[in-house]
């Protein structure tokens, strides 16, 4: 019953917790024995520590449970257990928490040119060589010319199947192959036109989604366990998760997000899709749809833009389907940035589900092949590997980069497009050329870069900082610092860069910290005068009072952590007040008949 409880489509679905156990007899449902009358469910049982995990094994057996898998990364067991035994297990002295094993789902010639990856490959000679990228997805096709070395041998270093335990590479859904091509396809079947972002990167393909594109949280964590155990042997520096699961708890306790934190602490960049829930079924804009693990601050979360079918960056737009922040439960600012995710042309996998169901989107190459070698797909699942490939280029240029510094560079060098707020586009649109150039600059300090188009901003937790210069030696980039924290584990104020001005003498300006006057609380939104939006960030200087811009569409994160989300034309939404307690969701009416609706508290 490995696939029990899995749904086939969508990001945010309700998981059926109770799955009755039945045996089949001549095509009719029949009770197998007395034990099968008991409904069971698959859960992740997290032990208090490694020692408790060992002691927990016999207790699971006594409760009538069957251990499906051990997840060393988070000291957990995947267990199918009778529902009636859950309460007893929850109170077991060795158990920290129990979570439902939730479902997860699989959420280029113009792309490379649009983000500038082609430029840095040509100018700096970086192509991802030597960098291991783990792709946790539906697998990879047995053979594709674009994953070969000049038509011979595949560049997939490792393939591990967590779904069907097969040893030979395959992709029965087709999603993983498409992702692999975006990251590291070499364009062989298109005479180089559909080259991926980092065509010489080494691929570690971990199959965790089945032929329908569905999997479970435990499948993903098992793949991350493999990454952790083999990170040195395979030089894994990047993990791509073009998947999404519903957010039903804080990122501090969710097994999936906790597992990704362990990987980031290993010094590995985890890139995840934001999700495709930017609109509701009626087509209205929807906020708060970012999926797990993209809701975690340590994950590099990617939304989708559209290159509009051209290599010219100036006509790029946001993709309407791309999930917007804030995150569920924790109200964090996401996504971190956006990248092309509309009509992305990458590799097809013959005989896969997508190959047969998306026939109208299959594309020919420029060389003779027995099948159509390319497929055009859309989604944040396509945007995430564009960033993952960019990270591989950055790490080749500067292997010393930490996950936090990688994210900071990507945000700092991004390019902002006015008309979308920061809960839609994050820090801005991916600028791969700028990101790789700045990464290279930190390794080679006298390198020249052109920063005129950069936003020069980073979003740290719910604060956006603009201006200043990133300092690669600052404590914010340490692997033991959680992105968004106010202090290091040792209690020091977080510093991130330098503030240069004409008054600085001998380059001796002090470090910028999150508590300094140069890092005020931030007004989220555009500073507009009529239709002329300059995109400047303004300080909140009036306590917890909401500030707005001239176009009536401001999002404000003010002093004392007050959050005002909405506009000033009777549609204001307030999350939190000055004591960080009450959550008020209502409108901006000024008479007594329009009282705000208080619906919960922030914990």
CA 258 → CA 75, 185, 320, 381, distances in Å? 11, 31, 30, 21
Average pLDDT of the residues of the chain:
77
φ/ψ region of 274 (left if φ > 0, alpha if ψ in -120 to 50, else beta) reads alpha
To the nearest 10 degrees (0 to 180), the angle between helices 380-397 and 432-443 is 20
Q: How far is CA 137 from CA 244, 298, 340, in A?
A: 11, 20, 19
Q: Are 395 and 539 within one domain?
A: no
Average pLDDT over residues 511-524: 37
**Shortest CA distance to 336 belongs to which of 345, 346, 325, 321?**
325
**Out of 348, 381, 420, 548, which one is annotated catalytic?**
381
Identify the pLDDT of residue 315: 56
**Torsion angle, alpha carbons of 247, 250, 254, 258, to 10:** 120
Residues 118 and 72 in one domain: no
pLDDT over threshold 80, residue 572: no
Is 11 inside any structural domain?
no
Q: Which of 101, 137, 225, 471 is catalytic?
A: 137
Residue after which a domain boundary falls, among 101, 135, 163: 101
Contact 179, 137 (CB under 8 A): yes
- Average pLDDT of the segment spanning 541-565: 32
Q: Which of 54, 85, 101 is the last residue of a domain?
A: 101
Contacts of 327 (CB under 8 A, 6+ apart): 247, 251, 288, 290, 295, 334
Judged by average pLDDT, the poorest of 277-281, 526-530, 577-581 is 526-530
Secondary structure letter of residue 40 according to DSSP: E
CA dist., res. 200 & res. 183, Å (int): 9
Cis? peptide before 117, omega within 30° of 0: no
Please check whether residues 442 and 493 belong to one and the same domain.
no
Reported as a pLDDT band with limits 50, 70 and 90, residue 348 is very high
Domain extent at residue 270: 105-454
CATH (domain of 157): 3.40.50.200
Q: Tell me which of 175, 178, 202, 307 is the catalytic residue.
A: 175
Q: What percentage of residues in the chain have a pLDDT greater than 70?
A: 72
- Among 115-129, 375-389, 524-538, 567-581, name the most confident range: 375-389
Whether the Cβ atoms of residue 173 and residue 213 lie closer than 8 Å to each other? yes
pLDDT in tens, 186-227: 999 999 899 999 999 999 999 999 999 999 999 999 999 999
Per the domain annotation, does 9 fall within a domain? no
Residues 443, 460 within the same domain: no
For residue 18, tell me if it sits in a domain. Answer: no
CA-based radius of gyration for the chain:
24
In a domain, 77, yes or no: yes
Q: What is the mean pLDDT of residues 434-459?
A: 89
User: Does residue 560 sit in the same domain as residue 464?
Assistant: no
**Same-domain status, 464 and 450:** no
Distance, in Å, from the CA atom of 506 to the CA atom of 201, rounded to the nearest integer, reads 41
Q: Which residues pair with 573 in a beta bridge?
A: 565
225 belongs to a structural domain: yes
In sequence order, the β-bridge partners of residue 149 are 152
CB 459 within 8 A of CB 411: yes
- Verify that 33 and 72 share a domain, yes or no: yes
Is 463 considered catalytic here? no
Q: What number is the average pLDDT over the span 38-66?
A: 90
Give the global pTM: 0.78
Residue 326 placed within a domain:
yes
User: In a 3-state reduction of DSSP, which class is residue 177?
Assistant: helix
Tell me the pLDDT tens digit for each residue of 259-311. 999 999 999 999 999 999 998 888 899 999 999 999 999 999 999 987 655 55
CATH code where residue 38 lies: 3.30.70.80
| pLDDT reading at 113 higher than 60 | no
Cα distances (Å, whole numbers) of residue 169 to 39, 212, 234, 466: 36, 17, 17, 46
Respond yes or no: is residue 569 known to be catalytic.
no
Q: What average pLDDT does range 380-400 have in this prediction?
A: 97
Q: Is residue 12 a part of any domain in this protein?
A: no
pLDDT above 50: residue 24: no
Yes or no: say if 270 and 393 are a contact pair by the CB < 8 Å rule.
no
Whether residue 483 has pLDDT greater than 70? yes
Q: Are 146 and 135 in a shared domain?
A: yes
Lowest-pLDDT range of 32-41, 505-514, 519-528: 519-528
Domain termination site, one of 484, 510, 536: 510
Q: State the pLDDT confidence band at 10, using cuts at 50, 70 and 90.
A: very low
Residue 242 located in a structural domain? yes
Closest listed residue to residue 274, CA positions, set 218, 220, 332 = 332
Q: For residue 462, what pLDDT is reported?
A: 82
- 178 among known catalytic residues: no
The Cα–Cα gap between 548 and 567 comes to 7
User: Is 77 in the same domain as 169?
Assistant: no
Contact 427, 337 (CB under 8 A): yes
Give the span between the Cα atoms of 494 and 505, in whole angstroms: 24
Q: What's the rounded mean pLDDT across residues 327-351?
A: 94
Distance separating alpha carbons of residues 59 and 13, to the nearest angstrom: 32
Same domain, 202 and 290: yes
Let me know whether 96 and 241 are in one domain. no
Cis status, amide bond into 335, omega within 30 of 0? yes
With cut-offs at 50, 70 and 90, classify the pLDDT of residue 53. confident
Number of domains making up the chain: 4
Residues 131 and 60 in one domain: no
pLDDT for the residue numbered 249: 96
């Amino acid at each position: 019953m490995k696939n029990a409880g899995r749904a086939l489509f969508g990001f945010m679905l309700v998981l059926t917790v109770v799955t009755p156990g039945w045996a089949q007899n001549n095509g009719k449902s029949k009770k197998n024995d007395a034990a099968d009358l008991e409904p069971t469910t698959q859960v992740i049982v997290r032990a208090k520590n490694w020692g408790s995990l060992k002691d927990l094994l016999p207790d699971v057996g006594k409760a009538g449970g069957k251990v499906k898998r051990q997840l060393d990364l988070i000291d957990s067991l995947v267990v199918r257990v009778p529902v009636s035994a859950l309460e007893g297990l929850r109170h077991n002295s060795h158990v920290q928490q129990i979570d439902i094993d939730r479902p997860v789902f699989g959420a280029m010639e113009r792309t490379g040119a649009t983000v500038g990856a082609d430029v840095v490959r040509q100018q700096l000679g970086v192509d991802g060589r030597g960098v291991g990228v783990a792709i946790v997805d539906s697998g990879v096709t047995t053979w594709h010319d674009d994953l070969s070395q000049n038509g011979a041998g595949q560049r997939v270093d490792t393939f591990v199947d967590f779904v069907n335990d097969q040893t030979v590479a395959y992709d029965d859904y087709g999603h993983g192959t498409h992702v692999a091509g975006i990251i590291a396809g070499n364009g062989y079947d298109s005479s180089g036109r559909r080259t991926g972002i980092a065509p010489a990167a080494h691929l570690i393909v971990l199959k965790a989604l089945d032929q329908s594109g569905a999997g479970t949280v435990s499948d993903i964590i098992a793949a991350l366990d493999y990454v952790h155990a083999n990170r040195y042997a395979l030089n894994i520096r990047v993990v791509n998760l073009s998947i999404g699961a519903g957010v039903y708890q804080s990122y501090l306790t969710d097994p999936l997000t906790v597992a990704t934190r362990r990987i980031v602490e290993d010094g590995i960049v985890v890139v995840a899709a934001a999700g495709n829930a930017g609109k509701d079924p009626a087509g209205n804009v929807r906020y708060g749809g970012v999926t797990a693990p993209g809701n975690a601050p340590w994950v590099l979360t990617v939304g989708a833009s559209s290159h509009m079918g051209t290599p010219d960056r100036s006509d790029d737009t946001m993709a309407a389907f791309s999930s917007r922040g804030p995150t569920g439960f924790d109200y964090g600012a996401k996504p971190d940035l956006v990248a092309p995710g509309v009509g992305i042309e990458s590799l097809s996998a013959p005989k896969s589900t997508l190959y047969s169901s998306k026939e109208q989107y299959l594309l020919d190459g420029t060389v003779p092949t027995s099948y159509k070698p390319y497929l055009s797909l859309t989604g944040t699942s396509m945007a995430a590997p564009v960033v993952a490939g960019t990270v591989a280029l950055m790490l080749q240029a500067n292997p010393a980069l930490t996950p936090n510094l990688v994210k900071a560079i990507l945000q700092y060098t991004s390019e902002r497009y006015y008309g979308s707020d920061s809960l839609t586009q994050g820090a801005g649109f991916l600028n791969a050329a700028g990101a790789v150039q700045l990464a290279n600059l930190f390794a080679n300090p006298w390198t020249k870069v052109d920063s005129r188009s950069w936003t020069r901003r980073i979003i740290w937790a719910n604060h956006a900082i603009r201006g200043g210069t990133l300092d690669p030696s600052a404590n914010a980039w340490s692997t033991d610092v959680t992105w968004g924290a106010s202090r290091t584990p040792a209690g020091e104020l977080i510093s991130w860069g330098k503030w240069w001005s004409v008054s600085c003498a001998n380059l001796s300006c002090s470090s910028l910290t999150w508590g300094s006057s140069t890092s005020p609380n931030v007004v989220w939104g555009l500073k507009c005068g009529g239709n002329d939006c300059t995109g400047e960030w303004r300080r909140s200087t009036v306590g917890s009072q909401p500030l707005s811009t001239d176009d009536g569409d401001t999002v404000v994160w003010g002093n004392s952590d007050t959050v005002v989300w909405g506009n000033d034309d009777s549609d204001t939404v307030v999350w939190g007040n000055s004591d960080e307690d009450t959550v008020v969701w209502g409108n901006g009416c000024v008479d007594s008949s329009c009282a705000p609706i208080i619906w919960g508290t922030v914990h």
